[in-house]
């Protein structure tokens, strides 16, 4: 059996046989030379092709909730702009509509490639799908889906899926989706969520190593893809899928209620978002706010750092999506696995090198100063908070807090409107966890947020990307929980709020432990909001502290911890996933 980690595009559990699907790109069949004599006829063909495409989108909108139709409006606008420019090519060069569309696509595709941004690459995929669909309408091409294989009950695996093909697959009864590329805000993801189809994005999957009919399990609750699992594992997941389906309605309803424990303790359920599109979608998913807004995409999309104005615009927009709900904006966590084209770092071990707050302080003029100015200016638009990444020394917090104050004073002296921001630190290293009592002596510190991915990695000295040791990586390891208990206890004693923004926050088996530690808020992937709120609403914080936490802290292995929590949840009537 092989196990891959992936990104949840649509939550759920699916078990089935694999069917590989290859995208048919109509642009590849367009000739390189196609002169025409009747330009008006070609223009009318383009207009008709656009009209047919818009009719398709109108039909698609009827299958989606109102909150998710904005992206399709953007698709329409993109298609209209593409065809408008293609018409100019037809008129000026006397070429056929298909070639004109391809020329426009290639022009913008090259610009997208040069940007180097993952988000913009996703938009490039949208543009290609639109261009291909319009060429299909022009030439009346209709690529087949699934060949001669019956799609009913199958899991479709592909490099990517465009919305047109996915809708055909949905109508044929597919059970789940796996792709190598895509995003949680792509049209394919929206369609999958609207139809309740589990969908996971696994960039590391090797399509050439898959065979037609391989058995697969999609677990897009735990963010896993299992290939050719044992009968026992399959049986477990079949049962799990049935449980999930029966509880899905309860999760959906819970997502839009407050998360309150049975003994009356309110717990915030916030969302982790990686760009503006994810933030927009999350704002209508039941999130109580944003617990982690990753801004790195703004820094990795060009050959120079983003300007103060572009940062200000992005921060103002995300704050606008959430009105007065809190939005925690993490200072750019750059370095290590997020290299920058404009900063050369020659390091033998970048994960222990110049990253996070260390890099920000090293490049305070080029990166930190514009970020702080933009954030303080944007904070007038909503409830903004600042989160400092990869802290390991108290002096780093003191220095950042002083820079925030000086930046605020400078903006005031310039007559520029700005607001205040609460400051928090990410607890991602054992050093930070063990010194929380000292961090809380810095008066500007208002909250801590556990970054459990890195905290687990550094505590266990495990590179979770290394398959030879990744089995050791486990967020429920007692050593990790003990560190969190020390840090959370010191923070709570001194009135500092405690949040968790790592993947652990969305794990059903971890939630009872986090509540027992006194966590005030969990920040999860938007698809997991309902699961988190549902679980919280069934638990008593007082009982967790008394009956579960002490036993977990005294455990000797993550397996023991997991079994303790599982039995506890089953004892209070919660279905465990």
Q: Which of 251, 404, 272, 255 is closest to 328 using CA atoms?
A: 272
pLDDT greater than 50 at residue 116? no
Give yes or no for a contact between 162 and 133, defined as CB atoms under 8 angstroms apart: yes
Encode pLDDT of 42-73 as tens digits. 999 999 999 998 888 887 777 665 555 666 77
Active-site choice (75, 96, 187, 287):
187
Q: Which helix (H) or strand (E) holds 293?
A: strand 290-293
Encode pLDDT of 335-347 as tens digits. 766 667 777 777 7
pLDDT greater than 90 at residue 181? no
Q: What is the pLDDT of residue 71?
A: 63
Q: Average pLDDT in the 259-272 region?
A: 96
Per-residue burial over 96-112, b = 16 or more CB atoms within 10 Å of its CB, e = otherwise: bbbbbbbbbbeebbeeb
For residue 63, the 8-state DSSP code is T
Q: Which helix (H) or strand (E) holds 273?
A: strand 268-273
Q: Average pLDDT in the 352-378 region?
A: 93
Rounded to whole angstroms, the Cα distance separating 64 from 200 reads 20
Three-class SS string for 343-388?
ECCCCCCHHHCCCCHHHHHHCHHHHHHHHHHHHHHHHHHCEEEEEE
Portion of the chain with pLDDT greater than 70, in percent? 92
* The token pair that represents 361 in the structure block: 């302080």
Encode pLDDT of 483-500 as tens digits. 999 999 999 999 999 999
More confident residue, 575 or 298: 298
Give yes or no for a contact between 439 and 432, defined as CB atoms under 8 angstroms apart: yes
The listed CATH number (3.40.50.1100, 1.10.10.10, 1.10.1530.10, 3.50.30.10) that belongs to domain 2-24+144-230 = 3.50.30.10
Q: Which of 264, 273, 265 is closest to 295 using CA atoms?
A: 273
Q: Average pLDDT in the 329-337 region?
A: 85
Residue 407: pLDDT band with limits 50, 70, 90 = very high
Beta bridge partners of 424: 387, 447
Burial class (CB in 10 A: 0-12, 13-18, 19+), 292: buried
Give yes or no for a contact between 511 and 522, defined as CB atoms under 8 angstroms apart: yes
Report helix, strand or coil for 478: helix
Structure-token match 């990869």, residue found? 390
Give yes or no for a contact between 175 and 154, defined as CB atoms under 8 angstroms apart: yes
* The token pair that represents 18 in the structure block: 């694999």
* The token pair that represents 415 in the structure block: 């007559």
Q: What is the pLDDT of residue 69?
A: 65
pLDDT greater than 50 at residue 115? no
The domain over range 259-571 is classified in CATH as 3.20.20.60: yes
Question: Measured over all CA atoms, what is the biggest interatomic distance in the chain, rounded to whole angstroms?
Answer: 84
Residue 165: pLDDT band with limits 50, 70, 90 = confident
More confident residue, 78 or 345: 78
CB within 8 Å of 239: residues ≥ 6 apart = none
Q: Average pLDDT in the 89-113 region?
A: 87
pLDDT greater than 70 at residue 113? no
Sketch the domain layout of the chain as residue ranges.
2-24+144-230, 26-139, 259-571
Query: Poorest-confidence range of 59-63, 247-251, 272-276, 459-463?
Result: 59-63
Rounded to whole angstroms, the Cα distance separating 111 from 245 reads 43
Q: Average pLDDT in the 216-243 region?
A: 91
pLDDT greater than 70 at residue 24? no
Regarding beta strands 199-201 and 7-10, do their DSSP bridges make them parallel or antiparallel, or are they unpaired? Answer: antiparallel
Rounded to whole angstroms, the Cα distance separating 288 from 448 reads 18
* The token pair that represents 263 in the structure block: 């003994």
Q: What is the pLDDT of residue 109?
A: 77
Question: Would residue 89 show up in a list of annotated catalytic residues for this protein?
Answer: no
pLDDT greater than 90 at residue 463? no
* The token pair that represents 413 in the structure block: 């002296």
Q: What is the pLDDT of residue 25?
A: 74
* The token pair that represents 59 in the structure block: 């039909």
HSE, side-chain direction, 13 A CA sphere, residue 435: 18
Average pLDDT, the chain: 88
Q: Which of 154, 152, 160 is closest to 202 using CA atoms?
A: 160
Give yes or no for a contact between 151 and 19, defined as CB atoms under 8 angstroms apart: yes
Rounded to whole angstroms, the Cα distance separating 263 from 516 reads 13
Residue 495: left (phi > 0), alpha (psi -120 to 50), or beta? Answer: left
* The token pair that represents 410 in the structure block: 């400078």
Sheet holding 199-201, edge to edge: 2-5, 224-227, 215-219, 13-21, 155-158, 176-179, 199-201, 7-10
Give pTM, 2 decimals: 0.73
Q: What is the pLDDT of residue 145?
A: 39
Q: Average pLDDT in the 238-246 region?
A: 86
Q: What is the pLDDT of residue 212?
A: 87
Rounded to whole angstroms, the Cα distance separating 202 from 226 reads 11
Q: What is the pLDDT of residue 142?
A: 42
Give yes or no for a contact between 351 and 453, defined as CB atoms under 8 angstroms apart: no
* The token pair that represents 316 in the structure block: 């103002």
CB within 8 Å of 93: residues ≥ 6 apart = 100
pLDDT greater than 80 at residue 148? no
pLDDT greater than 70 at residue 121? no
pLDDT greater than 80 at residue 518? yes
Report helix, strand or coil for 307: coil
Q: Which of 464, 459, 407, 449 is closest to 429 using CA atoms?
A: 459
Question: Would residue 287 show up in a list of annotated catalytic residues for this protein?
Answer: no
DSSP per-residue string spanning 479-547 = HHHHHHHHHHHHHHHTT-EEEE-SGGGG-TTTHHHHHHTT-SEEEE-GGGHHHHHHHHHT--HHHIIII
Q: Which of 494, 496, 532 is closest to 515 using CA atoms?
A: 532
Encode pLDDT of 295-321 as tens digits. 988 887 677 889 999 999 999 999 999
pLDDT greater than 80 at residue 380? yes
* The token pair that represents 161 in the structure block: 């899926």
Active-site choice (96, 271, 287, 501):
501
Fold of 26-139: Enzyme I; Chain A, domain 2 (1.10.274)
Q: What is the pLDDT of residue 236?
A: 92
pLDDT greater than 70 at residue 38? yes
């Amino acid at each position: 059996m092989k196990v891959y980690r992936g990104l949840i595009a649509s939550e759920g559990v699916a078990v089935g046989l694999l069917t590989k699907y290859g995208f048919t790109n109509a642009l590849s069949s367009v000739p390189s030379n196609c002169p025409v004599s009747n330009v008006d006829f070609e223009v009318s063909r383009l207009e008709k092709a656009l009209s047919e495409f818009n009719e398709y989108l109108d039909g698609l909108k009827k299958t989606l909730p109102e909150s998710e139709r904005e992206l399709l409006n953007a698709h329409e606008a993109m298609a209209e702009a593409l065809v408008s420019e293609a018409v100019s090519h037809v008129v000026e060069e006397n070429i056929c509509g298909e070639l004109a569309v391809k020329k426009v696509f290639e022009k913008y595709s090259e610009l997208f490639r040069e940007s180097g941004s993952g988000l913009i690459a996703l938009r490039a995929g949208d543009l290609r799908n639109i261009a291909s669909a319009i060429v299909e309408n022009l030439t009346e091409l209709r690529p087949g889906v699934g060949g001669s294989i019956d799609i009913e009950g199958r899991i479709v695996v592909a490099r990517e899926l465009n919305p047109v093909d996915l809708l055909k697959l949905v109508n044929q009864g597919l059970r789940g989706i796996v792709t190598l590329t895509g995003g949680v805000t792509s049209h394919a993801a929206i369609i999958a969520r609207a139809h309740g189809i589990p969908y996971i994005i696994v960039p590391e999957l090797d399509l050439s190593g898959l065979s037609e009919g391989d058995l697969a399990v999609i677990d897009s609750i735990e963010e896993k893809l299992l290939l050719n699992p044992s009968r026992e594992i399959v049986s477990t997941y079949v049962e799990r899928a049935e449980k999930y389906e029966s509880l899905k309605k309860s999760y959906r309803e819970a997502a839009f209620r407050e998360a309150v424990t049975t003994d009356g303790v309110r717990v915030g359920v916030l969302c982790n978002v990686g760009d503006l599109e994810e933030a927009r979608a999350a704002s209508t998913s039941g999130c109580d706010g944003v617990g982690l807004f990753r801004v790195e995409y703004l820094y990795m999309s060009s050959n120079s750092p983003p300007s103060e104005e572009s940062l200000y615009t992005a921060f103002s927009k995300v704050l606008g999506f959430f009105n007065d709900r809190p939005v925690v904006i993490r200072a750019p966590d750059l370095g290590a696995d997020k290299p920058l084209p404009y900063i050369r770092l020659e390091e033998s071990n970048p994960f222990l090198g110049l990253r996070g707050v260390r890099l920000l302080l090293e490049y305070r003029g080029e990166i930190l100063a514009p970020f702080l100015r933009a954030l303080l200016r944007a904070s007038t638009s909503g409830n903004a908070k600042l989160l400092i990444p990869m802290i390991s020394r108290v002096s780093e917090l003191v220095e950042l807090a002083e820079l925030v104050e000086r930046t605020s004073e400078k903006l005031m002296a310039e007559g520029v409107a700005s607001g205040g921001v609460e400051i928090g630190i990410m607890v991602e290293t054992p050093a930070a966890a063990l010194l929380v009592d000292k961090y809380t002596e810095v008066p500007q510190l208002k909250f801590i947020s556990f970054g459990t991915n890195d905290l687990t990695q550094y505590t266990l000295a495990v590179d979770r990307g290394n398959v030879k040791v990744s089995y050791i990586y486990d967020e429920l390891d007692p050593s990790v929980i003990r560190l969190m208990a020390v840090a959370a206890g010191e923070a709570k004693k001194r009135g500092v709020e405690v949040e968790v923004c790592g993947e652990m926050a969305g794990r059903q088996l971890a939630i009872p432990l986090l509540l027992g530690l006194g966590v005030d808020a969990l920040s999860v992937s938007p698809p997991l909001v309902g699961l988190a709120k549902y679980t919280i609403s069934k638990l008593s914080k007082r009982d967790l502290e008394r009956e579960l936490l002490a036993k977990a802290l005294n455990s000797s292995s993550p397996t023991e911890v997991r079994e303790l929590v599982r039995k506890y949840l089953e004892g209070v009537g919660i279905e465990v996933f």
